Amino acid sequence: MTGGVLLSFQDCLVKFSAEGTSFWQFQTLRSGCNFLLLLLVPLILSIKLTVLKPMNLPKVAFRTVFLILCMFCFFCAAPTLTFAQMAVGLYTYPIFVVIFAVFLLNENLLILYGDCPLISEKSIKELLKLKNTGVDLVVLGFESQNPKGYGRMVLDSNGGLKKIVEAKDATREESNVTFCNSGIMIAERKTVYTLLKNVSNKNAAGEFYLTDLVKMANEKNLVVRATRCPENEAQGINNRLDLAKAEEYFQTSKRLEALEKGVTLVAPDTVFFSFDTELGIDTVVEPNVIFGPGVGLKDNVKIRSFSYLEGCLVKSKVTIGPFARIRPETILDEGVKVGNFVEIKKSKLYKNAKASHLSYIGDASIGEDTNVGAGTIFCNYDGVSKYRIAVGKNSFIGSNASLVAPLKIGDRAVIAAGSTITDEVGKDTLALGRARQINKYKK
């Protein structure tokens, strides 16, 4: 975690300072920062803070050297590559470092399945915990009230995992076993590949079963154990019906998690979450609200009915909706109010800013205590490119105004209702951009 924070901080610092530089200048700066991080390692190791020290220094050192070699090869090949190829290579070679490290360092190999998306972090940690007690092979299983079709996990008298029998090959006695196989297991890489050499397809289905590893491990007197997870976690997805059931279980789990945390869901069954939704305590979510990916809400937020949020950060005491849409890269500071039929995209509204009715705000920043009137449109797109609009503090945007980007509006400015504003508006200024009214009387 510490390494991730340091690398993230370094990446942000490099990108901020490298704005406007060439590709090679950027890479030189980035490599220099990486080198400085390497120099900090001895200092970190000398500090008596065990949380900062690697648990396995030789493996960390190996990966570091291997990463440097990959970077060296990458930069040597760079003159022969296109820019697109360089961009891909720059962010994929760390993957190869991890893969080769598994093979060369004999690290644990965790086998997961792409059609089992509900396995929890808790269950994986239980696998690792049991593996680290000196067990050679650990398999994750579950108790099922209807085990038909599942492989059965047969235990010995000492609680060890004796074998896994596929449903097609199970005897009548084995078919009565309710402890079923999820397929998920963990062992050292060398153990797995040694056992795999002896797997055959001599069974009723004529298939190669990965589950045969358990029987083979026992034959080699290795220690094999099993741990349990809830059945719904191990649910495989083979069709749209399975997918719907998995989604139902996931949503139910997220709703319970939110309620237990101190979030009020007025009608829980009508609120839908994403895998990474984060809600603060004392938040109130009214019926028919959808949270897309990347949503974070602080404490004491109110989301009113029929609102959709995605990729945004909402700070405390914010009110959203009803019928509001908050799109990615939006930040709403404390006390912001977003009303009905308001759409916000890639914008930041500072403390106590308000957009209460029927407005579109895109690629903008809106200062503290600024009010955006009903029907205001931030015209950020000219048909080719997007441009930004900055509105200062304590400003007032009148109803039905059109703000044409790029544009800057100063603090305490007033935009008259119905105006189309194309030029910069200074602070403490009243701006009018509309046709003059003419009244003609009937004869």
Q: Are strands 302-303 and 284-285 parallel, antiparallel or unpaired?
A: parallel
Q: How many CB atoms lie within 10 A of CB 331?
A: 18
3 is catalytic: no
Q: What six digits make up the tokens of 71?
A: 């970077």
- 56 vs 52, 66, 126, 187, CA distance in Å? 12, 16, 21, 18
**Sheet order of strands, 296-297 included:** 296-297, 312-314, 330-332, 348-349, 364-366, 389-391, 407-409
Q: How many CA atoms lie within 13 A of 82 on its CB side?
A: 3
The CA distance from 331 to 320, in Å, is 12
Beta strands in 193-255 (DSSP E): 224-228
Of residues 130, 123, 173, 126, the one with CA closest to residue 152: 173
The CA distance from 13 to 63, in Å, is 24
- 222 vs 122, 138, 188, CA distance in Å? 25, 11, 12
Indicate which residue of 162, 357, 408, 434 is catalytic: 357
Give the burial class of 42: count Cβ atoms within 10 A of its Cβ; 0-12 exposed, 13-18 middle, 19 or more buried: exposed
The CA distance from 373 to 371, in Å, is 6
Coil, strand, or helix at residue 136? coil
The CA distance from 428 to 425, in Å, is 9
Active site residues: 357
